[in-house]
Amino acid sequence: MDYDLIIIGSGAAGLTAGIYASRYQLKNAIIGDLVGGLTTEAHKIYNWPGDPGISGFELTKKMADHVMESEGEIITDQVLEVEPVVDGSFVIKTKSGKNITCKKVLFTSGTKHRKLNLPREEELLGKGVAYCATCDGPFFKGRKVIMVGGGNSVISAALYLADLASEVFVICRGESLKGEPVWRDELIKRSNVKVLYNTNVVGLVGEEKLEAVTLDTPFSGSNELTAEGLFVEIGLIPQTELFKKLGGETDQFGYIKVQTDMSTTVKNVYAAGDSTDSSNNFHQIVTACSEGAIAADAIYKSMNVK
Domain ranges of the chain: 3-112+236-303, 129-232
Strands 222-226 and 212-219: antiparallel
pLDDT at 234: 93
Per-residue pLDDT band at 306 (split at 50, 70, 90): low
pLDDT at 172: 96
Sequence letter at residue 277: D
Give the DSSP H or E segment for 243: helix 241-245
- Give domain 3-112+236-303's CATH architecture: 3-Layer(bba) Sandwich (3.50)
Q: Which residues are annotated as catalytic?
A: 132, 135-136
SS3 20: helix
> What is d(CA 266, CA 249) in angstroms, rounded to the nearest whole number?
8
DSSP 60-85: HHHHHHHHHHTT--EEE--EEEEEE-
pLDDT at residue 42 greater than cutoff 90: no
Torsion of CA 96, 100, 306, 63, to 10 degrees: 20
For the chain, the farthest-separated pair of C-alpha atoms sits apart, in whole angstroms, at 72
pLDDT at residue 304 greater than cutoff 90: no
**Topology agreement, domain 3-112+236-303 and domain 129-232:** yes
Q: Closest by alpha carbon to 242, among 34, 8, 32, 13? A: 8
Residue 42 phi/psi, 5° resolution? Answer: -70, 120
User: pTM for the full model?
Assistant: 0.84
> What is d(CA 92, CA 81) in angstroms, rounded to the nearest whole number?
6
Q: Closest by alpha carbon to 207, among 146, 127, 136? A: 127
pLDDT at 168: 97
pLDDT at residue 291 greater than cutoff 70: yes
Looking at domain 129-232, its CATH superfamily turns out to be FAD/NAD(P)-binding domain (3.50.50.60)
Q: What is the mean pLDDT of residues 192-210?
A: 96
> What is d(CA 112, CA 11) in angstroms, rounded to the nearest whole number?
12
Helix axes 152-162, 181-189, angle to 10 degrees: 30
Per residue in 75-122, pLDDT (tens digit) is 999 999 999 999 999 999 999 999 999 999 999 999 999 999 999 999
**Percent residues over pLDDT 70 in the chain:** 99
Per residue in 124-183, pLDDT (tens digit) is 999 999 998 888 899 999 999 999 999 988 998 999 999 999 999 999 999 999 888 988
Residue 257 phi/psi, 5° resolution? Answer: -80, 125
Mean of pLDDT over the chain: 94
